[in-house]
Structure 1
């Protein structure tokens, strides 16, 4: 999956799939539905993926890439040192809050794929997604350390794995406890700031 290049046709497929998931849900959305709405044959979709689950996995990866781009745009605008941590963390907090929402296709996909984790192909998709999230977060932390915004003593690998667990927990929280209290962007921001040593003198 990770070697698929994002051309206009694939992006259109992902956009259509996201719209249909929000309209019908993951289970009810079929590759034939997506093909019909896009004016394509089902075979055209199979040029990119082998299954609906793989297409859904690509949507998760595309969302992660969008977050990565926004993070680095924020880093480019941030000042050096600890004060430079706020902008990029704010960007990530907003994205995490958005991804964890019940009106977000990526969150619906994540929960749907989790429910099928007993299938080896789906387990592989989830594992790839998790490991990509960890490596992306690790890169963000290392960039923060290089810019003096995150203390050197922070273990980037461990912190990245903790953030992946936190993100997955946010995604599941809305399903298992919809009335369990809102965790807002500001709460996420403060949690990450404290975890990365930005809230300490």
Structure 2
């Protein structure tokens, strides 16, 4: 039997409710009820709603590299394809995080990000640093692929790293809101094929 620490349980419940309903739309009573605790039980770990919100948000912003960049030792073409494929996993992760099994999940998710980074501007810096780390890792991989003669040498590794990161982030959003993306099972393959045509030697 797995025993989950009450504080961790509260943070998990609070994060989902804050993402789904917003700060104003979530009460400590809501969190306590869903966590199976009393409001006093929540106050045992957190001094206020603001304290709980901040800790839940910080928990969310403890970044790690996206899974498709965990192993960059694969062929460059396969790595890029993994990036396109990762959008499906990311979409499921967002739906699970929000607790909404519909494309509306992205609206809750982005509103949460907007609110959190406006309340705590330092978190926007965390996002920027996280994205920069991704792009540096990608640029290193692209540079190595150029040296090995696997992709064109007349493209700037930093620029194509930025471009790919931006493209995947935009496709993540479109996977929720654009029927051409979420209703066409072959769209990612076609987008990847077109992207690869521009890079291969």
- The alpha carbon displacement at 1:94 in A equals 2.9
| Distance in 2, Cα, partners of 1:158 & 1:13 | 42
Instruction: Give 1:132 shift.
Output: 0.9
* Cross-structure match for 2:17: 20
- Matches of 1:10 and 1:69, distance apart in 2: 27
The residue aligned with 2:181 is 183
- In structure 2, the partner of 1:158 is 159
1:9-158 matched pairs, under 5 angstroms: 12-20=9-17, 25-27=21-23, 28-30=25-27, 33-34=30-31, 37=35, 39=37, 40-42=41-43, 44-45=45-46, 50=51, 52=53, 55-59=56-60, 61-62=61-62, 64-65=63-64, 68-73=66-71, 75=72, 78=74, 81-85=75-79, 88-98=82-92, 104-105=97-98, 107=106, 108-114=108-114, 119=118, 121-143=119-141, 145-146=143-144, 154-158=155-159
In structure 2, the CA distance between the partners of 1:29 and 1:142, relative to structure 1 (3 Å rule), is: farther
Bigger-Rg structure (1/2): 2
CA root-mean-square deviation: 4.5
Question: Structure 1 residues 69, 113: CA separation in 2 closer, same or farther (over 3 Å shift)?
Answer: closer
Quote the Cα distance in structure 2 between the aligned partners of 1:50 and 1:150.
49
CA contact (8 A) 2:85 2:188 kept: no
TM-score by length of 1: 0.56
**Cα deviation code 1:152-189 (max 9, x no counterpart):** 655444344434544554465578xx4x4242475446
Q: Which runs of 5+ in 1 are unaligned?
A: 1-7
* Aligned equivalents of 2:122, 2:81: Cα separation in 1: 34
**1:38 Cα deviation after fit:** 6.2
State the TM-score, normalizing by the size of structure 2.
0.56
- Structure 1 pair 187/135, CA: closer, same or farther in 2 (3 Å)? farther
Instruction: Summarize the Cα distance change of 1:172–1:83 in structure 2 as closer, same or farther, 3 Å threshold.
Output: closer
Deviation at 1:84, TM superposition (A): 3.6
Instruction: Give me the whole-angstrom Cα distance separating, in 2, the residues matched to 1:151 and 1:165.
Output: 20
